[in-house]
Structure formats: C-alpha cells, structure tokens
Amino acid sequence: MSRLPRAQEYLKTGFTAEAAAAARCRAYAQAAERAGRPNLAAAWRELAAEKDGLAIAQLEAAGKVWGDGEAIAAALAEERFENHSLYPRMVREVDAETAAVFGQVIAAQEVHAERLAALAERLRAATADLPA
C-alpha cells in the first residue's frame, strides 16, 4: 500500500502521465519538422503546451511547486540522484546501444547539475531577481 494519501498519489500519477505525453508530443513535433511538415509540427507543439499546463496544474494541486531556493535544491538533488544512482544502475543492465543513450543523458545531466549549483549561488547573492 502506498504511503501517500490517495489524492496525492493520483496527482503524482496524473502529473507523470501528462508530462510524459507532453514530451512525446514535442518528439512527434520534432519528427514532423524534420519530415517537412511544419503545420503538423505546430499542432503537436500546441498539444504539448496544453499537456504541460495540465501537468503543472496537478503539480500545483499536490503542493509540489516550491519557493525559489527550495525548488533549486530539490532539482539539484534530483539531478544528482539520477546521475549517481539511477542512470548508472540502468547502464549496467541494458545493451550497449541503450547504455550509450544513457551515457549521453548522464553527460547532459552533469551540465544541468552544474547550472543548478551556479543558479543556487546566484540566487543566494541576489537581493531580488537574478541579475541578467
């Protein structure tokens, strides 16, 4: 049995479903663009934006949209978990082609973690919004 209250569990499930659907729509838009179908690509991007909105609404309803510092800390912790635990375990358990994809993800995630750490520093030093 889940430790989350049912409403929180359902909001998490709904968020995950909508966020994944939005990413798929953006991938389909990219494929349509490469195939020379810009109007189809635009339709996919519009649907992705709507799916993003649904995901955000559920994340907000779950109380998971936090203040600036807390959001950055949570994002940085997630990047570190993915890079140091999640993806390395998956790399060990898949074929070489899939492992190469995960290797690219890990490399990009390292850059993301560095950006988030720098963002946290900039936010700590700022008196209001971040300087441009």
Report residue 57 CA to chain centroid gap.
Answer: 15
Per residue of the chain (132 residues), give pLDDT as tens. 567 799 999 999 999 999 999 999 999 999 999 999 999 999 999 999 999 999 999 999 999 999 888 999 999 999 999 999 999 999 999 999 999 999 999 999 999 999 999 999 999 898 888 877
The pTM assigned to this predicted structure is 0.83
The answer to whether 113 and 81 are in contact (CB under 8 A) is: no
- Which two tokens mark 117? 């750490």
45-52 contacts, C-beta under 8 A, 24 or more apart: 48/22, 48/23, 49/22, 51/18, 51/19, 51/21, 51/22, 51/25, 52/18, 52/19, 52/22
Q: Domain extents for the chain?
A: 6-61, 68-125
